[in-house]
Amino acid sequence: MQFNNKETRLILEDGSIFNGYSLGSKKPVAGEVVFNTGMVGYPESLTDPSYRGQILVLTYPLIGNYGVPGYEKEDNLLKYFEAEKIQIQGLIISDYSFNYSHWNAKKSLSDWMKEHKIPGIYGVDTRELTKKLRKKGAQLGKIVYKNEDIIFEDPNKRNLASEVSITKPITYKKGKNKVVLVDCGVKNNIIRAFLRRDYTVVRVPWDYDFSDEKTDGIILSNGPGDPKKCKQTIKHTKKAMTKNTPILGICLGSQILGLAAGAHTYKLKYGHRSHNQPCIEVGTKRCYITTQNHGYAIDSKTLPEDWREWFINNNDDTNEGIIHMSKPFYGAQFHPEASPGPDDTEFIFDMFTRAMKR
């Protein structure tokens, strides 16, 4: 078959084919094809564990122009990345910049992807591809090189949180106050946010029984996939809620909190993945611009009577946060820690720390 020198293809489950040039590693992969409309922040986005199992389409046309930073660490965490490795299955972009320039750049995007064995395609009409995904919804897809092939695979059938979580507790020592962070695929900047606030962070696996831990508060982290797959986390959250310990759920963690409370979740048509999602705080006219990366949401109509919606998305009216009417339980569907994107909602961390000190 002739590809006109475009030897790499993205094939969608509906039969659509997008030809392009190879970027990063040359190997076939399969996953769920999703898009992100952010203009910058690809080092943070590509290392976000919430992208586990997904082939990421970046709609901003020019990618790679500022390279990739180095592996400097601070507080035993990589300073410029959200995890220890690239988490996406593959990358789809329009125009790749072979020449990069940035004071902090250590290597090119393509070399970094080769290092982590992640394939990509450039030269794709990402506008056409994104329009298709918006119309038909997120689709299964596969990246193939030359005559190689691979079967389609739905990552949402797996417990993706278990794949990106740590397996043993890790303690990040700081102040005398302690917060337990349940790692369902946590971004490093959530940990950094509480270390900056002088909290010792005890990071535990997704299935760890944290309900009897002596702690000032519990954070349910972000992560990939269907929240209903995190059955142990939901079970432990239900038990922890009986003790009135302050709990903050972020992204997937908000959905887990909602499921533990008795609400239901569902899959969005194509999800929210960008740095410019407008969220209205319910009961006010205040709109916050937020960073998001999720494919599922809480059905607000199923919230119990003692819970209410905290935020809603101003684009599609889907739920963006829940809050208990009388107990210190909070869920934010967006990312207050940003990285990348705006930090307009980082005040939620300050609100949570005040709740932990009562």
Sequence-ordered strand ranges (E) for 236-286: 247-250, 264-281
Q: Tokens 């910049």 appear where? A: 97
Given 32, 309, 320, 337, the catalytic residue: 337
**C-alpha torsion sign, points 341, 334, 181, 55:** negative
**Beta-carbon count within 10 A of 4 CB:** 6
Q: Is 168 helix (H, G, I), strand (E, B) or coil?
A: coil
In this structure, are residues 61 and 94 in contact, taking their beta carbons and an 8 Å threshold? yes
Backbone region of residue 290 per phi and psi (left: phi > 0; alpha: psi in -120 to 50; beta: other values): beta
Nearest to 297 by CA among 287, 311, 276, 278: 311
How much is the CA Rg of the chain, to the nearest whole Å? 20
| Active-site annotation holds for 236 | no
Nearest to 126 by CA among 20, 40, 47, 4: 20
Given 251, 272, 309, 320, the catalytic residue: 251
Given 236, 272, 294, 335, the catalytic residue: 335
| Active-site annotation holds for 337 | yes
Nearest to 303 by CA among 277, 329, 281, 280: 329
CA–CA distance, 338 with 346 (Å, rounded to integer) = 8
> How many angstroms from the chain centroid is the CA of residue 335?
8
| Active-site annotation holds for 251 | yes
Active site residues: 251, 335, 337
